[in-house]
């Protein structure tokens, strides 16, 4: 049993953190989005869509976002063409929760853990907005490649970012660093 103590402790910390954060996020979603009649996306999803518009506008695209009238998502309209949508799963919060649970499970000092959680979460969020911006342009320019872009390349960006942050955390800041 002693041999597996670290693994068991890691799993307990990971799942407790994950389920607490997931419960908080689920409660937030229940109280901030509307799924019937007049659909309304959660404010964080709307914020991600709005920031995507800001990024694309900065690069000279004519972009707007509007609440989808048939589902809980935000339409991204580029150059007058409905190109993409931002749904709850695109706002990066679920990925940030997964990131945070892992960092807490492999915690370091309190200060290092809190700072890494803060800066890592902001970094993931920013990468996600840039990822959605690039995906929107790529879908606009190459609509026949939507499957490869949306299902393979762009998930690889966000999950690759999280994996890289985990590797940095474990090797540089956690109690388990070499």
Helices (H) and strands (E) in the chain, counts: 6, 3
Residue 137 phi, psi (nearest 5)? -65, -45
* 92-119 CB burial, b ≥16 within 10 A, e <16: bbebbbbbbbbbbbbbbeeebbeebbee
Radius of gyration over every alpha carbon of the chain, rounded to an integer in angstroms: 19
Predicted TM-score (pTM) above 0.85: yes
> pLDDT tens-digit profile of 16-71?
999 999 999 999 998 888 777 788 888 999 999 999 999 999 999 999 999 988 88
Q: Where are the domains of the chain?
A: 2-35+89-173
């Amino acid at each position: 049993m002693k041999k597996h103590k670290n693994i068991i402790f890691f799993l307990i910390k990971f799942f407790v953190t994950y389920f607490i954060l997931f419960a908080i996020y689920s409660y937030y979603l229940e109280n901030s989005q509307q799924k019937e009649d007049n659909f309304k996306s959660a404010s964080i999803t709307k914020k991600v869509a709005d920031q995507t518009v800001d990024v694309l506008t900065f690069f000279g695209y004519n972009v707007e976002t509007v609440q989808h009238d048939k589902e809980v998502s935000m339409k991204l309209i580029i150059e007058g063409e409905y190109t993409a949508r931002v749904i709850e799963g695109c706002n990066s919060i679920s990925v940030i929760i997964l990131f945070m649970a892992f960092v807490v499970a492999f915690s370091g000092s309190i200060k290092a853990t809190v700072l890494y959680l803060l800066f890592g979460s902001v970094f993931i969020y920013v990468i996600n907005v840039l990822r959605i911006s690039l995906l929107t342009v790529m879908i606009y320019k190459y609509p026949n490649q939507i499957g490869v872009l949306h299902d393979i390349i762009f998930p690889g960006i966000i999950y690759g970012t999280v994996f890289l942050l985990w590797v940095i955390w474990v090797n540089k800041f956690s109690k388990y660093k070499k």
